[in-house]
Copies of this chain bind each other. A is one copy, B any other.
Amino acid sequence: MRISELAEASGVPVPTLKYYLREQILMPGHATSRTRADYGEEHLERIRLVRALMDSGGVGIAGVRAIVSALADPPASRHDLLGAAHDALALPGDDAGVSAEVADLLARLGWAVSAASGPARAVGAALENVRRVGIDIDHAALDRYAAAMRAVAQVDLEHVTAQTSPAAALRLVVMGNVMLDPVLVGLRRVAQEALSAATPG
């Protein structure tokens, strides 16, 4: 299809599509003449990915470019693939200093992750924000939160491992993190209401 038809099909205006092409987050179409190119299903799918990352995920243009370039040449091992996805989907505070509290937490849990990893640094920064407003979370509470998120990650990884290609696995890790975080945040509040309705106090 032509770029005007791609705009129609995706709901994204032509000037925005041209911007994606210039920024190299949308691959070029197949040239049919000096001024025309043909676009297909893979372009539509890419546009859906880009919009989801930017609109729902709040990922910036640099993050989208990092994800798209990793998709073009995905790491073969699941572990490297997770690392690439986490690097591209930067969390606030993932460049903060290494937190002694998080190092301690990881050691307590026996999680084989460096406290210097991006997500671990982000947890440290987020916990510092929590303390700053005077909320006290003790070790026991933090360990229970971590155990719950480990159960979430277990479901995540089973899905990733079931994918048949590295590109599909990477796409799932990226989209699964970006798009499912709001589901989990919402479920937390629904569960608060359900538990509150079910217990006196």
Which residues on A are within 8 Å of B, measured CB to CB? 45, 48-49, 52, 56, 78-79, 82-83, 86, 91-93, 106, 109, 111-113, 117, 119-120, 122-123, 126-127, 129-130, 132-135, 137, 141, 144-157, 159, 161, 172-173, 175-177, 179-199, 201
Contact = CB atoms under 8 A, between A and B. Distances in A.
Given A144-B155, A175-B133, A199-B157, A127 B183 contact: yes
A143 to B, nearest CB: 10
Given A175-B133, A185-B91, A190 B111 contact: yes
Contacts of A134: 45, 48
Given A117-B190, A181-B185, 20 more contacts: A52-B132, A52-B133, A86-B193, A91-B189, A119-B193, A120-B186, A126-B179, A133-B179, A135-B179, A141-B155, A144-B155, A148-B148, A148-B184, A149-B152, A149-B187, A152-B188, A154-B195, A156-B192, A173-B192, A177-B188
Contacts of A56: 129
Dominant secondary structure at the A interface: helix
A177 B148 contact: no
A1 to B, nearest CB: 20
Contacts of A195: 150, 153-154, 157
A153 B188 contact: yes
Contacts of A192: 82, 86, 153, 156-157, 173
B149 A184 contact: yes
15 contacts: A91-B189, A113-B197, A119-B186, A120-B186, A122-B182, A123-B183, A123-B190, A129-B182, A133-B175, A135-B176, A144-B154, A145-B155, A151-B151, A157-B199, A173-B192
Contacts of A187: 123, 145-146, 149
A180 B52 CA distance: 24
A188 B196 CA distance: 25
